């Protein structure tokens, strides 16, 4: 059975690696390690189809070390034993371990001594953030390198190489394709060379030759084989949290266009509940007193979205995103509660003043509870000065208004008047 084009086109030398110049370019760390033949175990992490396996294969091909490929999730401890036995017989061996974040403790404990004695050079590959998902015992024994999504130019070079390669690629096929169609293949897979190559192969193999003996790949054929742009979004992966973070930071930065894009990414991935929850947080954390009406409208929009479900839910949520992004921003209440909680976590607390304690039970007065309390409703303007914070904290100020809108300006003025009467 013939392997997929993406598999056949994997580089055999480090000079053939697409992109990743920050790792394999002249003078960069992985190239230096390869040229000096001073390899150490490493973890490569990044989106699917960006070259993690290719880098491992290129390292092995360039150094001429034996190369074995296992999957931490599906291959058993006995498979590792076979690799270790081979390494004992033949010398240094490179082991590419896919999905290394799923390596269990049994397999990890077996592998660790062989990493330490240098018999096996481990190259772990994962789409997840290794600082979060990989056991510290493995992480401490490997260098961690981020593999980035390929540019459309990198992918186009890879496609052109596959079209011209008669041994492993599609060079034996009479392909005819214009520049715009080639660019389409290279630009809609979100930096994933594997998806682009496999879509190209499907287009070539499924298109019959015309009367001139040519396999003509048109824009329509390309679109059909690619279907749609693959979103780099895995709800269990690191990128999931990056998108959520980007949505909040775009709204906080008043960039409504970027915010709308990241909302679309979440909704395309079916993350309606996550989007709703995040917009509620943003409304109160980042807009707050800057535009309290916008926070209320966001609650209503979220309720509508939850009742509607996708795809219609996108409409009220888009309204909320635009409303929040274009509102004056205030994180006054967010900062206030954080400051108060920081004091509590640091142990900077005190007992509730006796005048504020509950006085609604028998014997409360004997204990001095609620004695001396002044009810503000019995005083002019419904205000009277008295101590509310514990003695140890009575001069503390957690609320620091920073007016950015009419509402916070008004409450800031009232707050200042109150402070002056205390």
DSSP class of 399: -
Instruction: Tell me, yes or no, whether 113 and 61 share the same domain.
Output: yes
Any domain includes 341: no
Instruction: Tell me, yes or no, whether 291 and 318 share the same domain.
Output: yes
Q: Identify the three-state secondary structure at position 207.
A: coil
Overall number of domains in the chain: 4
- CA separation, residue 246 to residues 187, 240, 261, 286 (Å): 22, 10, 10, 14
- Check: pTM over 0.85? Answer yes or no: no
Q: What does pLDDT average to over the chain?
A: 89
Comparing CA positions, the residue from 275, 320, 276 lying closest to residue 298 is: 320
Instruction: Tell me, yes or no, whether 219 and 248 share the same domain.
Output: no
Any domain includes 332: no
CATH (domain of 274) = 1.20.272.10
Instruction: Tell me, yes or no, whether 296 and 373 share the same domain.
Output: no
Instruction: Tell me, yes or no, whether 37 and 11 share the same domain.
Output: yes
Residue 13 CB: number of other CB atoms within 10 A?
A: 12
CATH (domain of 165) = 1.10.8.60
Instruction: Tell me, yes or no, whether 175 and 242 share the same domain.
Output: no
Instruction: Tell me, yes or no, whether 107 and 182 share the same domain.
Output: no
pLDDT tens for each residue of 7-52: 899 999 999 999 999 999 999 999 999 998 888 999 999 888 888 9
The domain boundary, picked from 79, 114, 146, lies at 146
Residue 181 CB: number of other CB atoms within 10 A?
A: 19
DSSP class of 290: G
Instruction: Tell me, yes or no, whether 222 and 254 share the same domain.
Output: no
- pLDDT value of residue 289: 93
**pLDDT-flagged residues of the chain (< 50):** 229-232
Give the range of the structural domain holding residue 187, as residue numbers without chain letter. 152-226
Range 109-112 contact pairs with CB under 8 angstroms and sequence separation of 24 or more: 110/77, 110/80, 110/81, 110/84, 111/80, 112/137, 112/138, 112/141
Any domain includes 336: no
The domain boundary, picked from 226, 261, 286, lies at 226
Instruction: Tell me, yes or no, whether 140 and 257 share the same domain.
Output: no
Any domain includes 85: yes
Instruction: Tell me, yes or no, whether 188 and 134 share the same domain.
Output: no
Q: Which two tokens stand for residue 208?
A: 């019959």
Any domain includes 339: no
Instruction: Tell me, yes or no, whether 301 and 276 share the same domain.
Output: yes
pLDDT tens for each residue of 84-143: 999 888 878 899 999 999 888 898 889 898 888 888 999 999 988 888 888 888 888 899
């Amino acid at each position: 059975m013939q392997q997929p084009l993406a598999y056949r086109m994997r580089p055999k030398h480090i000079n053939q690696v697409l992109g990743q110049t920050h790792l394999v370019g002249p003078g960069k760390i992985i190239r230096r390690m390869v040229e000096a033949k001073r390899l150490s175990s490493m973890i490569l992490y990044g989106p699917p189809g960006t070259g993690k396996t290719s880098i491992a294969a290129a390292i092995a091909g360039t150094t001429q070390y034996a190369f074995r490929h296992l999957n931490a999730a599906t291959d058993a401890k006995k498979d590792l034993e076979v690799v270790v036995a081979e390494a004992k017989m033949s010398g240094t061996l490179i082991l590419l371990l896919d999905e290394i974040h799923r390596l269990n403790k049994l397999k990890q404990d077996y592998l660790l001594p062989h990493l330490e004695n240098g018999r096996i050079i481990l190259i772990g590959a994962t789409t997840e953030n290794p600082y979060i998902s990989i056991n510290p015992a493995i992480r401490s024994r490997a260098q961690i390198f981020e593999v980035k999504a390929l540019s459309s130019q990198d992918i186009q070079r890879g496609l052109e190489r596959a079209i011209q390669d008669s041994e492993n690629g599609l060079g034996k096929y009479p392909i005819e394709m214009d520049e715009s169609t080639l660019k389409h293949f290279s630009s809609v897979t979100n930096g994933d060379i594997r998806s682009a190559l496999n879509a190209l192969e499907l287009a070539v193999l499924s298109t019959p030759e015309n009367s001139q003996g040519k396999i003509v790949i048109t824009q329509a054929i390309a679109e059909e084989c690619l279907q749609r742009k693959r979103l780099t979004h895995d709800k269990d992966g690191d990128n999931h949290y990056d998108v959520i973070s980007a949505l909040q930071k775009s709204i906080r930065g008043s960039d409504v266009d970027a915010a709308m894009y990241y909302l679309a990414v979440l909704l395309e991935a079916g993350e309606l509940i996550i989007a709703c929850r995040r917009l509620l947080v943003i409304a109160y954390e980042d807009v707050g007193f800057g535009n309290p009406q916008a926070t209320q409208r966001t609650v209503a929009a979220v309720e509508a979205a939850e009742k509607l479900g996708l795809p219609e839910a996108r409409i009220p949520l888009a309204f909320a995103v635009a409303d929040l992004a274009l509102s004056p921003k205030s994180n006054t209440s967010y900062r206030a509660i954080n400051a108060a909680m920081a004091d509590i976590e640091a142990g900077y607390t005190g007992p509730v003043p006796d005048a504020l304690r509950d006085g609604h039970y028998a014997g409360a007065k004997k204990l001095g509870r609620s004695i001396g309390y002044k009810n503000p409703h019995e005083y002019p303007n419904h205000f009277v000065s008295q101590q509310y914070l514990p003695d140890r904290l009575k001069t503390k100020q957690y609320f620091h208004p920073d007016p950015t809108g009419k509402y916070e300006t008004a409450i800031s003025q009232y707050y200042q008047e109150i402070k002056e009467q205390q």
